[in-house]
Amino acid sequence: MPPHHRTTGTTRVHHTAVVPAFRSTRHRVRLAEAEQDHTMRKLTIAAVTLGIAAFGVAVPVTAQAGTGCNTNWNSHGRDGNVRAWSGTDCGGTLLGVTPGNDPNWGDSAGPFQGSDANSASSVMNSGYVGGKDVVAFYYWTNYDDTAYGCLKPGELYVDDLARNRFTNNANMNDNIMSHAWVTASACAPGSFIS
Ligand SMILES: [Ca+2]
Ligand SMILES: [Ca+2]
């Protein structure tokens, strides 16, 4: 028997006083339940939102590990080469692939030619580790060391060169004219790109 029926003997006034109080309690319980449901929904929504936010954040954070460069890396792994692309995230045109050097990305010889100069927006170092395993990218031709940026093999790749500057402070995007394999010790502190 519901508790409000255990009012036998009490006055009508008391009874009517108890019932609204009881209803009120039930109502509060329902409200509390509804509130809990609502809270749960909000938590669920918050979790979903957080998930989306985390995903959204994860992309830029691992943008250095962009999907294009990541996919390209996985297709060959460490194969002894340096690569450069006209677009960001190892996209656009693959300008060149080589285990060697090229003193002029704008001439008609070697792995990089013609319009390859001043065009690269992403680069990859999948060279073998040890010795001259760092790729120095130069602002000028002929490995002019007044302006360069060094990419370590452990960095794997730079998916957007616009984040980096040569040692002369020029932005590296669409500005590389030559490259050479060098030792890490040949690169100045602060010249490493990522
Ligand atoms: Ca470009
Ligand atoms: Ca060349």
* 147, part of any domain: yes
* Range with lowest mean pLDDT among 5-9, 158-162, 169-173: 5-9
SS3 assignment for 144-179:
CCCCEEEECHHHCEECCHHHCECCCCCECCCCCCEE
Give pLDDT, residue 66. 65
Mean pLDDT of 127-139: 98
Spacing, Cα 66 to ligand 1 middle (Å): 16
Spacing, Cα 6 to ligand 2 middle (Å): 98
* 13, part of any domain: yes
| Ligand of minimum distance to the alpha carbon of 175 | 1
Spacing, Cα 116 to ligand 2 middle (Å): 8
| Ligand of minimum distance to the alpha carbon of 86 | 1
Listed residues: CB within 5 A of ion ligand 2: 102, 104, 107, 110, 112
Spacing, Cα 92 to ligand 2 middle (Å): 19
CB proximity list for 140: less than 8 A, separation 6 or greater: 146, 147, 177, 178
Spacing, Cα 107 to ligand 2 middle (Å): 5
Spacing, Cα 120 to ligand 1 middle (Å): 5
Kindly state the tokens that stand for 53. Answer: 């936010």
Q: Outline where the chain has alpha helix (H).
A: 12-61, 67-76
Give pLDDT, residue 52. 41
Spacing, Cα 35 to ligand 2 middle (Å): 69
State how many domains the chain has. 2
| Geometric angle at alpha carbon 144, from 139 and 150, rounded to 5° | 60
The verdict on 163 and 103 lying in the same domain is yes
Chain position carrying tokens 């000028």: 140
- Given its phi and psi angles, is residue 136 left (phi above 0), alpha (psi -120 to 50 degrees) or beta? beta
Name the more confident of 141 and 34.
141
The verdict on 54 and 119 lying in the same domain is no
Of the chain, the percentage scoring pLDDT greater than 70 comes to: 66
Distance CA 179, CA 172 (A): 13
Give pLDDT, residue 12. 41
Tens of pLDDT, residues 16-60:
444 444 444 444 444 444 444 443 433 333 444 444 444 444 433
- Provide the domain limits for residue 38: 3-63
pTM, rounded to two decimals: 0.68
The verdict on 123 and 173 lying in the same domain is yes
Q: How far is CA 184 from CA 13, 15, 135, 172, 174, in A?
A: 92, 89, 9, 19, 24
Does residue 178 carry a pLDDT above 70? yes
Spacing, Cα 7 to ligand 2 middle (Å): 100
* 191, part of any domain: no
Tens of pLDDT, residues 65-105:
569 999 999 999 999 999 999 999 999 999 999 999 999 99
Give pLDDT, residue 192. 98
The verdict on 110 and 35 lying in the same domain is no
The verdict on 41 and 9 lying in the same domain is yes
Spacing, Cα 103 to ligand 1 middle (Å): 19
Q: Outline where 62-84 has alpha helix (H).
A: 67-76
